[in-house]
C-alpha cells in the first residue's frame, strides 16, 4: 500500500476566460474544480495507473468536504484528519485565446497541536503492509519546519520507504532524517545547495553528495529537459519527447507517482525513471490542474 501525506491541501478552481482584462468584467467561459495538493496528486496518478493508495492529511469546512468528496468519487481512499479551519482554495485564471495564465494561492488554515497529534497517531499506527509513504508540499500555519523530519524518523524505524518532495527549510531539515528518496526540481535543489549550478555536471556532483549521506534515490526534475536519477552507483537521465504543453501543474507529482508505482511493481531502476518522465509528460498535456 502506498500512502501519501498532504499537510496543506487545496480545492483548486481553474477559471477559463476569453481574455483576462483588469479593471473590467470578465465572463468565465468554463470552470474546472479539482482536489489539489502535491501528495493528493500523487495518489490520483497512482490510482489512475491501477495502484493501491490512501491519501492522508488535513481537511476542514465545506471546501474540505468537497475536496474529500471529489477524491472519493474518483475512487481514491482517504483518511484525513478534520480540522477546525477551512481548507484553502487556489484559483487559476487562464486565457482561452492566448494561453496565458495566472494563479492566486491562499495561505491555508492553521493546524492546532491536538489536530497534529491525531495525524501523528494515524501515521504511527500505519499497517505493516505500507511500502511507500510520500510526503510533499507546503506546510500549513501552526506546523514547524521539522515536521517532515519527525515523520521520516518515525517511518524509517518501521521499515517504510519515505519519499520527500518539498522545498526550503522543510526539505533542508527533512533530508537530515535520510528519507529513501527525494525529488527536487532545479530551483529547489539550487535553494538547497545555496548556489546556482552552471551546468549538469555540477548538479550531479551535488546529487552525489546527497546520496553519500544515506539517501538512496535523488531525482532531479528539469522540466522539458527531463529528469536525472542519482544513486550510489549510477547516474541516469531520461529525456521526454517534445509535446505541446498545456499546463505543467502536477507534472512533478505525476513523476513521483510513476516512479513509485513502477518500483512497487518490481521494475528495473531505468524503467522506473522512464515511467516517472512518461507520467510527468502525460500530465503536461492536460489543461489546468487536470492529470
**What residues are labeled active site?**
253
DSSP characters over the chain: -EEEEESS-EEEEEEEES---TTS---EEEEEEEEE-HHHHHHHHHHHHT--EEEEEEE-HHHHHHHHHHHHHTT-EE-PEE-SSPPEEEEEEEETTT--EEEEE----B--HHHHHHHHHHHHT--TT--EEEEES---BT--TTHHHHHHHHHHTTTPEEEEE--HHHHHHHGGG--SEE--BHHHHHHHHTS--SSHHHHHHHHHHHHHTT-SEEEEE-GGG-EEEE-SS-EEEE-PPP---S--TTHHHHHHHHHHHHHHTT--HHHHHHHHHHHHHHHHTSSTT--
Q: How many CB atoms lie within 10 A of CB 71?
A: 22
User: String of b and e for 180-189 (b: at least 16 CB within 10 Å)?
Assistant: bbbbbbbebb
Q: How far apart are CA 254 and CA 241, in angstroms?
A: 16
Q: How far apart are CA 270 and CA 278, in angstroms?
A: 12
Amino acid at each position: 500500500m502506498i500512502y501519501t501525506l498532504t499537510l496543506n491541501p487545496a480545492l483548486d478552481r481553474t477559471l477559463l476566460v476569453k481574455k483576462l482584462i483588469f479593471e473590467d468584467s470578465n465572463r468565465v467561459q468554463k470552470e474546472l474544480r479539482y482536489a489539489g495538493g502535491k501528495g493528493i496528486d500523487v495518489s490520483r496518478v497512482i490510482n489512475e495507473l491501477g495502484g493501491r493508495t490512501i491519501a492522508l492529511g488535513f481537511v476542514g469546512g465545506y471546501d474540505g468536504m468537497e475536496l474529500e468528496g471529489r477524491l472519493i468519487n474518483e475512487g481514491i481512499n482517504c483518511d484525513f484528519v478534520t480540522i477546525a479551519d477551512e481548507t484553502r482554495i487556489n484559483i487559476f485564471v487562464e486565457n482561452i485565446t492566448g494561453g496565458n495564465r495566472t494563479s492566486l494561492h491562499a495561505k491555508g488554515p492553521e493546524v492546532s497541536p491536538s489536530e497534529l497529534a491525531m495525524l501523528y497517531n494515524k501515521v504511527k499506527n500505519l499497517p505493516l503492509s505500507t511500502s511507500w509513504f510520500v510526503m510533499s508540499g507546503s506546510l500549513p500555519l501552526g506546523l514547524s519546519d521539522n515536521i517532515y523530519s519527525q515523520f521520516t524518523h518515525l517511518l524509517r524505524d518501521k521499515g517504510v520507504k519515505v519519499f520527500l518532495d518539498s522545498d526550503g527549510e522543510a526539505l533542508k531539515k527533512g533530508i537530515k532524517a535520510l528519507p529513501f528518496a527525494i525529488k527536487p526540481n532545479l530551483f529547489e535543489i539550487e535553494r538547497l545547495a545555496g548556489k546556482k549550478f552552471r551546468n549538469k555536471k555540477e548538479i550531479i556532483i551535488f546529487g552525489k553528495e546527497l546520496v553519500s549521506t544515506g539517501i538512496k534515490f535523488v531525482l532531479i526534475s528539469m522540466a522539458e529537459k527531463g529528469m536525472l536519477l542519482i544513486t550510489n552507483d549510477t547516474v541516469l537521465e531520461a529525456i521526454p519527447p517534445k509535446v505541446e504543453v498545456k499546463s505543467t501543474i502536477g507534472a512533478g507529482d505525476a513523476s513521483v507517482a510513476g516512479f513509485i508505482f513502477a518500483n512497487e511493481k518490481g521494475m528495473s531502476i531505468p524503467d522506473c525513471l522512464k515511467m516517472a518522465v512518461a507520467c510527468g509528460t502525460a500530465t503536461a498535456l492536460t489543461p489546468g490542474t487536470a492529470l
